[in-house]
Amino acid sequence: MADAAPADPQHLAEAVGRAMFDRDHASQMLGLTLDSIAPGRARMTMRVRPDMCNGHAICHGGLIFTLADSTFAYACNSYNVNTVALGCTIDFMAAGKEGEVLTAAGEMRQQGSRTGLYDITVTNQDGKIIALFRGKSYRIKGDVLSGLNA
């Protein structure tokens, strides 16, 4: 039997984060860690592995996007309403390199009853901006903790 969802928004966000990460095999496969989650916010980290790079030790842009997109997913689902990505834009500012630790910090810019907008900034361990990501979200039926999905 499922426990009741926490009433406190911060506890709820943390419970959502744990539940999502548990079944988020893609983020696990890439070694992402969920460093923090709060209502409308999340922060994740990815170490750039050799198998994420090209022959010049430059990280594949798709995996930088994946880090940002995961962070977006945690941020926009943090209210425990099932939410999907409608569309995203990413602008690449600098290369991510093998061995670097990239951090994606996401925050809600707008959240209406159905649609939302979130900005995610990816930086490396020196604080250099690697990419700027903007995602539009859309709330569907169900909640995260009950495990239902549209």
C-beta of 17: minimal distance to its own copies in Å? 14
Within 97-126, the residues that bind its own copies by CB under 8 A are 109-110, 114-115, 117
- Tell me which stretch binds its own copies (CB under 8 A): 4-12, 37-45, 59-67: 59-67
Instruction: By CB under 8 A, name the one of 4, 7, 25, 113 that touches its own copies.
Output: 25
If you ran DSSP here, which 8-state letter would residue 6 be given? P
Site stretch for its own copies (CB under 8 A), options 3-11, 34-42, 58-66:
58-66
Q: Cβ(103)–Cβ(122) under 8 Å?
A: yes
Task: Determine contact, residues 103/120, Cβ cutoff 8 Å.
Answer: no
**Residue 8 touching its own copies (CB under 8 A):** no
> Could you give the C-alpha distances from 108 to 12, 42, 53, 97, in angstroms and in order?
16, 9, 30, 28
Which residues have C-beta within 8 Å of that of residue 101, sequence separation ≥ 6? 45, 46, 47, 48, 124, 125
Residue 116, phi-psi category: left (phi > 0), alpha (psi -120 to 50), beta (remainder): beta
Query: Shortest approach of its own copies to residue 76 CB, angstroms?
Result: 12
Report the residue from 16, 67, 76, 81 that binds its own copies according to the rule CB under 8 A.
67
The contact set with its own copies (CB under 8 A) reads 20, 22-29, 50-56, 58-63, 65-70, 73, 84-93, 109-110, 114-115, 117, 129, 132, 134, 136, 138, 147, 149
